[in-house]
Amino acid sequence: MDGTRGVAQCAIPPGQSMTYKYTIRNQWGTYWWHAHTATQYVDGILGPLIVHSPDEPHLGEYDEDIIMMLQDYYHTESGPLVTWFLSPASKGNEPVPDNGLINGRNSFNCSRDAQALFPTGNKCTNGAPLATFKFKTGLTYRIRLINTGAFADFQFSIDDHMLTVIEADGVDMQPVAVQRLPIHVAQRYSFLVQANQTVGNYYVRATMNTNCFDVPNPALDPLVKAVIHYEGAPVTQSFNSSDWTVSGMAPECLDLALDMLHPYDAQPAPTADVSYQISFIFKTGSNGINLAYINGISWSPLMTDATLYQAQKGITRFDTTQHVVVLNNTNVVEIVLINHDDGSHPFHLHGHTFSVLGWGKGKYIRGTTPLELTNPLRRDTITVPEKGWTVVRFMNDNPGLWTFHCHIEWHVQAGMLMQFESLPEQIKKFQIPSEITAMCGAK
Ligand SMILES: [Cu+2]
């Protein structure tokens, strides 16, 4: 019940519903749920999903939980945007957001809409209030930051407050303090923040890395704000808290340096039984449409079937466009991602966390480029640098059809997705409720 259209199920038909049931095993942390059909999540079908456990190592270190969902925001619905993106008119440039939101809020100067890349007829309200989070002096907060956006990565900070990172994508980390944290689409971080400053109001800042966009959008103010309000501070719209002056360790369009994040539960990198090189690139066809190719294949979803259902029936050869790599009894899988594109891409693997052995710009040379093997970062979404590489390994221990894709939604629509079929013999034993497979024929 992974929810991926054309992979783990068919889309839920209009007016129907589906209840997802699954078992949590030895897993906790910060996740999010979202529609995995077309670009629906960009229009708002998403939310946080937090798994708590008494076994969490950092449980005693904070007093309260705060969720912050951070996203880029378009003043035009995603349907027309993706139609434009996949037409010659875009010249392969992604739609650039008009604004950004924290927990669904930001303040926008509506006059900027006049300069937007995409004219919008939507209603705009000037000077809407910012999201406000309450602090009590002396308490420690665990902030769970989730990038639920379509395209933009952000640099995140809170004025005068350090962020002690303790979790990345559901994996507990050894604490590391930063002033600023980069976060790409679909990534999650938890960090501890101490309410140890003078009682007052402080800005939360998330700045979009506009250098990662192909073209500018004059309507966009890349700085997204929210407010930390200490109990006892005056309630006011205008206050002066200042941004960190040192830019810190956050490079643009890239993740936090690998040597900063070490899993709390230390595990050496598993030895790979098999290694796949996965190269990706954008190419413009003779029709002028720019598509994404992974090892030469541009994915598009099955509309009335799911590769999981095919696998369950014992089918072993899938349609080429589905780009399924079959993993029989392989134990540990290594993927060497090679990015031929001049933009960075946050790759996400369903059904697993992977170990990140290394990433960098330029060429990866097997056996020569150094990799982290002692206690590599583990997470489920990693940014592959522009014209660069990333090496990950995962355990093939979860039967199913699992997508591996760039989480920039425009890139998924352009075909930047592939699938791993884990443990086919076990999939054949799956009992799939008929009311769920019945959705495939429904209109
Ligand atoms: Cu991408």
CA angle at residue 241 from 61 to 198, to 5 degrees?
50
pLDDT of residue 179: 93
pLDDT of residue 117: 87
| Domain ranges across the chain | 57-260, 274-440
CB 212 within 8 Å of CB 184: no
Just give the CATH number of 274-440. 2.60.40.420
Handedness of CA 172, 103, 402, 393 (dihedral sign): negative
Measured in angstroms, how far is the CA atom of residue 410 from the centroid of ligand 1? Answer: 8
pLDDT of residue 127: 85
For the chain, the farthest-separated pair of C-alpha atoms sits apart, in whole angstroms, at 66
Measured in angstroms, how far is the CA atom of residue 441 from the centroid of ligand 1? Answer: 31
pLDDT band at 247 (very low <50, low <70, confident <90, very high): low
Tens of pLDDT, residue by residue over 276-316, are: 999 999 999 999 999 999 999 999 999 999 999 999 999 98
Tens of pLDDT, residue by residue over 42-72, are: 999 999 999 999 999 999 999 999 999 999 9
Q: What is the CA radius of gyration of the chain?
A: 22
Q: Which residues in 94-222 belong to E strands, given as ranges?
A: 99-102, 132-135, 140-147, 154-158, 163-168, 171-178, 181-183, 188-194, 201-208
Q: CA-to-CA distance for 419 and 191, rounded, in angstroms?
A: 32
Strand, coil or helix: 161 = strand
Tens of pLDDT, residue by residue over 90-104, are: 999 999 999 999 999
pLDDT > 70 fraction of the chain, expressed in percent and rounded: 98
pLDDT at 253 over 90: no
Q: CA-to-CA distance for 111 and 181, rounded, in angstroms?
A: 31
Measured in angstroms, how far is the CA atom of residue 123 from the centroid of ligand 1? Answer: 30
Measured in angstroms, how far is the CA atom of residue 345 from the centroid of ligand 1? Answer: 4
Tens of pLDDT, residue by residue over 368-399, are: 999 999 999 999 999 999 999 999 999 999 99
pLDDT band at 443 (very low <50, low <70, confident <90, very high): low
pLDDT band at 26 (very low <50, low <70, confident <90, very high): confident
Closest by CA position to 392, among listed 343, 349, 330: 349
Average pLDDT of every residue of the chain: 95
57-260 and 274-440: identical CATH topology: yes
Just give the CATH number of 57-260. 2.60.40.420
pLDDT of residue 123: 79
Q: CA-to-CA distance for 80 and 391, rounded, in angstroms?
A: 36
AA identity, residue 376: P
pLDDT band at 39 (very low <50, low <70, confident <90, very high): very high
**Higher pLDDT residue, 246 or 108?**
108
Phi, psi of 332 (to 5 degrees): -120, 130
Measured in angstroms, how far is the CA atom of residue 125 from the centroid of ligand 1? Answer: 32
Measured in angstroms, how far is the CA atom of residue 281 from the centroid of ligand 1? Answer: 9
pLDDT band at 250 (very low <50, low <70, confident <90, very high): low
